[in-house]
Each structure stands twice: as C-alpha cells, then as structure tokens.
Amino acid sequence: MALIVQKYGGTSVANPDRIRNLARRVARYKAMGHKVVVVVSAMSGETNRLISLAKEIMPDPDPRELDVILSTGEQVTIGMTSLALMELGIKAKSYTGSQVKILTDDAFTKARILSIDEGNIKNDLDNGYVVVVAGFQGVDGNGNITTLGRGGSDTTGVALAAALKADECQIYTDVDGVYTTDPRVVPEARRLDKITFEEMLELASQGSKVLQIRSVEFAGKYKVKLRVLSSFDDEGEGTLITFEEEKDMEQPVISGIAFNRDEAKITVLGVPDKPGIAYQILGPIAEANVDVDMIIQNTGADGTTDFTFTVNKNEMNKALSILRDKVQAHIGAREIKGDDKIAKVSIVGVGMRSHVGIASKMFRILAEEGINIQMISTSEIKIAVVIDEKYLELAVRVLHKAFELDAE
C-alpha cells in the first residue's frame, strides 16, 4: 500500500466528463489499496477568464483582491471532484488551501509555500477518505488568501507529497510526459522516459511550463519521486524525474529545448560607467518585488555604458515607471526603453559538461537563419539567448533538428 499524490491540470478537469474520468482513475488506485490525495487545478481557461474579469473593473488589479478572485477557480473543481468520487461510492473530502493550512508568504499572485499542516489530511486518509486539495492557493500569516503563480498547482502537488512523505507524486496533464521540447511547437519532439532533476529544473526555469519551477525545486529538496503522465491515456509510463545521472549511459549532449515568451527587455541607456550603478538600477526593482532574469552591461566607451535586463512582461510597466521616476535623473541616464517583443530560447543538457563547442554550434545555427541574438546567458548545463519574438518557433525548430532531438 502506497501513499500517492495525483495532480490534475486544467485540461484534465475541463468538464464533468473529464472529472468523472479522473475519479475513475482514483477509484482504481483506491481499489489497489493505496491512499490517494488529489490536487486539482481550475478548469482550463478559468484562471484566464477570472483575470480578464478582474481587469474589466481595475486594469491593473490589486494583488490581494486578485488572489481572492483567482482562488475560486480551484474551489469549484475540488467540490466537483469530491462529488464525482462520491458518485462512485468513494468517501471524499475537499479542502481549500487555507483549510489545509498551506501557509505562504504574503507575496500575492506569486506566494511561496512556507509550511503545510498535514495533520487533518493524514487523519482523513487513515479513515479511508480520498482527500481533494485545491492547487495554486494558500493562506498567509494574516489569513489572507494567496496564490502561487501561474502553473502553481504543480507546486501544491509536490509540496503536499513532500509534507506527507508520499511514495510518489504523479502529475497528470494533457501530454504523456516531458518531451525534448513543447510538442505543440515541434511535432517531431520525443517523449523522454527519464530526465535528470537538474535538467528538469533548468527546463522549467527557462519556460517549459509542463512543470512549474517551484514544484521541481520542492521535488529536489525533499527527494519526491515525481512522474509526469497523461490523464487521457492509462497505458504510458510517462516521464520520471531522476536524481542520479546514469554514468553508464551515453548521455545526449542536449536533452531538451525550452522557450519563454513571457519576458520583456529593459535597457537603461547612457549610464555612467562607475561602481554602484548596477545596484542603483536593480535595487529599487528588487524592493518592488519585481524578479529580474538576464542581466548584461556593456563595457563603457567615453565613460558611459548601457545596462540591459529582463523582467516578466506583466511587470515591465511597473519596472519602467520605477526607473523613470526614481532612478533615471539620479544616475543621469540618457534614456530608458522597454521592449516586450522578445523571446528566450534555451538548450539544456548535462552532457554539455563534457562537450565543447555547443554554444558556437547554437549561434551558428541561428546565424544561418538570419536570427539576431540580443542577449546570451549560460550555466554549466544551459545556453539561453534572447531573440526577436517573431523568430521564436523557427529558432526552436532548427535547433531541435540540428541537435538531433527529432524522433527517429
């Protein structure tokens, strides 16, 4: 008998039939004698619908109130899922994030989980219930409802699996595993039977939304056995996230390609080339809780330089106003520009550690297509470039082919 956490994404709970289908799978696991905790997302499209609804009243919605609105999506599906289980004669009980007590910080719309009170869930499991928990939401120390950022139900699933010391966390979605890249962009993409935790972390952080990055971080920290599977097909083995590198196996140099359309680029032009400038630019950005991803600063000519960084598109205007209102005059910068027509493409693979020339190959392939590289960042197992948004799909396709990731 095992304790299994099953997380179902939006498309897997999109309508009553799919919810019934989910309930039948849970029933099969229950019949095998397992304890099952189900984590559900909102029905597909619902979170987007709620965001648009809020924006009709306030174009830049107050984050606390937005979280109150967004959390309702998952509240509907936990109730629906419990009803579907009851209809199959299974004892089921739903919990919102605050009822479980998934305690988070107070960073509304992108809160982090601090702790989970697993006592009630354990009791219910011991008493034969299937426990159904709302993904994507928690409660802060003052009782305010919070949400965990887009895709956050993955993190609820893995964090619960960690707190309950579950034997396995299964992420059920609309693809049957983790692919070499998004199969919707490259139909030749291949499903991976296994992927190392490090690679999955890099792919998720570079934009592969099949798993939210924080869910992968939790899996790594608590060594949660994590598997991505299709909710539409009961046969497949999905993709297992592994913690050991296979020494005996010939590692492919590149395991996957991730991309991200959600970032925007901000350039501060003509800043004095002297100590403290990076801090004066990025300090106020960090204070406003705006996450910065890539950063580049050119070497100065004639005593000035340009400073460029990327932020989430949603936060570009906020970052631009902070810089224009509080920083520009202070540091004597000539101009502050924003560009949200960019995209980032990253190639990822632990095999890069033992191979040289991967970056130059990537740059050559992009050059052959006439794609200009605007920014570059690298880690031991990743090379990421920022390009014009309109070349994104072309870039992913040609790189996928050139690095021989296509299905045979």
Q: Which residues bind ligand ADP (CB under 6 A)?
A: 9-12, 41, 151, 173-175, 178-179, 181-182, 184, 208-210, 256
Residue closer to ligand ASP by CB (options 41, 206) is 41
**Angle subtended at Cα 380 by Cα 216 and Cα 355, rounded to the nearest 5 degrees:** 125
| Distance (Å) of CA 197 to CA 27, 161, 190, 313, 389 | 30, 16, 18, 28, 29
Residue by residue, DSSP assigns 153-208 as: HHHHHHHHHHHTT-SEEEEEESSSS-BSS-TTT-TT--B-SEEEHHHHHHHHHTT-
Minimum distance between the CB of residue 38 and ligand ADP, rounded to whole angstroms? 14
Measuring CA to CA, how many Å separate 124 from each of 100, 136, 165, 298? 12, 21, 16, 59
- The nearer residue to ligand ADP, 161 or 178, going by C-beta atoms, is 178
9 vs 97 by CB, closer to ligand ADP: 9
* Single-letter amino acid, residue 202: E
Query: At a CB cut-off of 8 Å and minimum separation 6, what does 258 contact?
Result: 181, 202, 203, 204, 206, 207, 208, 345, 346, 348
Q: Which lies closer to ligand ASP via its Cβ, residue 153 or residue 239? A: 153
**Smallest distance from ligand ADP to CB 24, Å:** 18
Q: Which does 63 bind (CB under 5 to 8 A by kind): ligand ASP, ligand ADP, Mg ion, none?
A: none
In the complex, minimum distance from the CB of residue 209 to Mg ion, in angstroms, rounded to a whole number: 6
**In the complex, least distance from residue 70 CB atom to ligand ASP, rounded to whole angstroms:** 7
Task: Give the span between the Cα atoms of 399 and 197, in whole angstroms.
Answer: 22
Residue 150 contacts which entry, ligand ADP, Mg ion, ligand ASP, none (Cβ below 5-8 A, type-dependent) = ligand ASP
Q: Of these partners, Mg ion, ligand ASP, ligand ADP, none, which one is at the site of residue 256 (CB under 5 to 8 Å by kind)? A: ligand ADP
10 and 42 Cβ atoms separated by less than 8 Å: yes
264/313 Cα distance (integer angstroms):
5
Q: Please give the residue whose beta carbon sits closest to Mg ion in the complex.
A: 151
Give 403's contacts (C-beta < 8 A, 6+ positions apart).
Answer: 253, 254, 257, 347, 361
* Shortest CB 22 distance to ligand ADP, Å: 12
* Strands 35-40 vs 113-116: parallel, antiparallel or unpaired: unpaired
Residue closer to Mg ion, measured from CB, 9 or 138: 9
Q: Which residue has the tokens 């809020």?
A: 54
- Within 5-44, the residues that bind Mg ion by CB under 5 A are 9
Footprint of ligand ASP on this chain (CB under 6 A)? 9-10, 41-42, 47, 73, 135-136, 150-154
Q: Which of 73, 97, 151, 256 binds Mg ion (CB under 5 A)?
A: 151
Checking DSSP bridges between strand 256-260 and strand 292-297, what pairing results, if any? unpaired
Tokens standing for residue 233:
């097909």
Q: Which does 42 bind (CB under 5 to 8 A by kind): ligand ASP, ligand ADP, Mg ion, none?
A: ligand ASP
Least distance in angstroms from the C-beta of 16 to ligand ADP: 17
Which of ligand ASP, ligand ADP, Mg ion, none does residue 43 bind to, with CB < 5 to 8 Å depending on kind? none
Residue numbers at the binding site for Mg ion (CB under 5 A): 9, 151
